[in-house]
Amino acid sequence: MVRLEHINLVMEDIRPTLAFLLTAFPQWRVRGEGDMTWGSAENASTRHWLHVGDDDYYLTLNDGAVGEIRDLKGIQPGVAHIGFVVDDLQSVIHRLSLKGFSVDIKGRDHPFRETVYYNDPAGFQFEFLQYNSDKPSEKNMYGGESGELEKKETNQNTTHA
């Protein structure tokens, strides 16, 4: 068996992204955290890290990043977005909306899935996806989309409660 266990992200400040993730996934928790030395001996710095998720999957969040995150509209190499399958997309949208987060992009209409994208406060983009079929041939159907992507106002630089 092969499965993705975690993704490791580095940002300036962990707290805003942690708040975003715990709003989207209230069943998640901080599994562990600590401090570590990062970098070579001559460039070493201390970073705080934490694992947020459930017993099987998590994201590692590290603070102390220096520099700008990849421009999501650009063509630079790097992570474009991180996607999560959810059972109830409208509940995720509602919880995030209550905390002041707005959808950045609503995916095109598809007969068997719905998608929305959010930019978190650190500048990472997260996709939330709900499948409306359990049949692999339908949920994994490429093509069949209609309409245009709906680009919404971004909240990348907004402070959230």
- Enumerate domains of the chain plus CATH numbers: 6-69+79-142 (3.10.180.10)
pTM for the predicted model, two decimal places: 0.87
Residue 59 has pLDDT above 60, yes or no: yes
Rounded Cα gap, residues 95 and 22, in angstroms? 10
**Pairing mode, strands 58-62 and 6-10:** parallel
Please state, as a whole number, how many other Cβ atoms lie within 10 Å of the Cβ of residue 88: 10
pLDDT in tens, 24-56: 999 999 999 999 988 777 888 889 999 999 999
**Pairing mode, strands 82-85 and 125-131:** parallel
pLDDT in tens, 76-88: 898 999 999 999 9
